[in-house]
Amino acid sequence: MKLVRFGASGSERPGLLAPDGSVRDCSAHVADYDHHFFSENGLERLRELAADPGQLPVVPPGERLGSPVARPRKLLAIGLNYSDHARETNAPIPTEPILFMKATSALCGPNDPILIPRGSTKTDWEVELAIVIGRDARYLASPEAARSSIAGFCAANDVSERSFQLERGGQWSKGKSSDHFFPLGPWLVTADSLVDPQQLGMTLDVNGVRRQTGHTSTMIFDVWQIVHYLSQFLTLEAGDVITTGTPPGVGMARKPPEFLRPGDIVRLAIDGLGAQECRCELA
């Protein structure tokens, strides 16, 4: 299944992407794709609707898509999870997953504008595979046990302001959490509909020029290891989103460094998970 949320920002309704490419309105049957939905077996109930999407109203073409997950309780992120990205930033290869957090207010739709913060000089791009947690999980016994805790996967952009992140003191979160610094979607692909999340190509273009080309097979820690690992330190709650690191090609590693400016168009895609296209605007 491919889950979407559509409508004006703050008023999104839940839907499904039908096999014919149309978006179907599920709001008569489901309140939203949030913690309650995932923790109360909402995916199982939704499968009955997905089996016959023709019974659901068609959403008019061109309707805005929001984040496919309603505002989660946590946005967790793994840094430096591709060895070639670690090398391009002159960072050591991690021996354990590097965890940081993004503010949930950074979440936005897949085609919403990327807002360049006031005073920013180094807003950067990062195409990433995101995991959506399907049930509350704590102290998972193994990476294999993590499989039943994952609802699905999304494409994401871990937008980062490098001067805020690296030059202003403290931890990374202040450079990762500005408004619209986490475009998510266009849809959530359920785990049972994705053959192997570790076999996905990923790309990112800025103004039509390829900047990132990667593959999830080159992750240092795979999605199952990440979920298992994080569950040892905190409770993963249904609807939480975990973004899993970026391949090489980020702006700060280019020679000379290159960063986003108002008017730039960022387009990213991940195999099977769809594409985003965001225009950069001043906040």
- Which 3 state secondary structure label does DSSP give 220? coil
Which region among 87-101, 171-185, 240-254 has the lowest average model confidence (pLDDT)? 87-101
Which residue shows structure tokens 């994080």? 230
- pLDDT value of residue 205: 98
Whether pLDDT at 67 is above 90:
yes
Segment among 1-5, 30-34, 44-48 with least mean pLDDT: 44-48
Pick from 19, 3, 76, 66: nearest CA to 234: 76
Is the model's pLDDT at 233 over the cut of 90? yes
User: For residue 281, how many other CB atoms are within 10 A of its CB?
Assistant: 14
CA distance 134 to 231: 13
Confidence band (pLDDT; 50, 70, 90) for 193?
very high
Q: Which two tokens stand for residue 146?
A: 């993590």
Is pLDDT of 109 > 90?
yes
Beta pairing class for 114-116 and 188-190: unpaired
Mean pLDDT (the chain) is 96
- Name the band, by pLDDT with cuts 50, 70 and 90, for residue 90: confident
Close Cβ partners of 96 (under 8 Å, ≥ 6 residues apart): 229
The whole-number average pLDDT for the span 61-79 is 97
pLDDT at 85: 85
pLDDT at 142: 98
What local confidence, expressed as pLDDT, does residue 11 receive? 97
Tokens 């039509």 -> residue: 208
Residue 83 reports pLDDT greater than 90: no
Whether the predicted model's global pTM rises above the 0.95 cut:
yes
- Would you place residue 228 in the very low, low, confident or very high pLDDT band (cuts 50, 70, 90)? very high
pLDDT of residue 263: 98
Q: Cβ neighbours of residue 94 under 8 Å, at least 6 residues apart?
A: 79, 80, 81, 86, 220, 221
pLDDT at residue 89 is higher than 90: no
Burial tier of 103 (Cβ tally within 10 Å: 0-12, 13-18, 19+):
middle
Q: What is the pLDDT of residue 46?
A: 95
Beta bridge partners of 226: none
Cis-peptide into 256, omega within 30 deg: yes
Distance CA(258)–CA(252), nearest Å, equals 6
Tokens of 210: 């390829």
Q: What is the CATH number of domain 66-282?
A: 3.90.850.10
The predicted structure's pLDDT at residue 280: 98
Percent share of the chain, pLDDT over 90: 94
Least confident of 28-42, 64-78, 89-103: 89-103
pLDDT score of 59: 98
Domain coordinates in residue numbering, the chain = 2-64, 66-282
Q: What proportion of the chain, given as a percentage, has pLDDT over 70?
A: 100
pLDDT reported for residue 164: 96
Confidence bin at 87 (pLDDT 50/70/90): confident
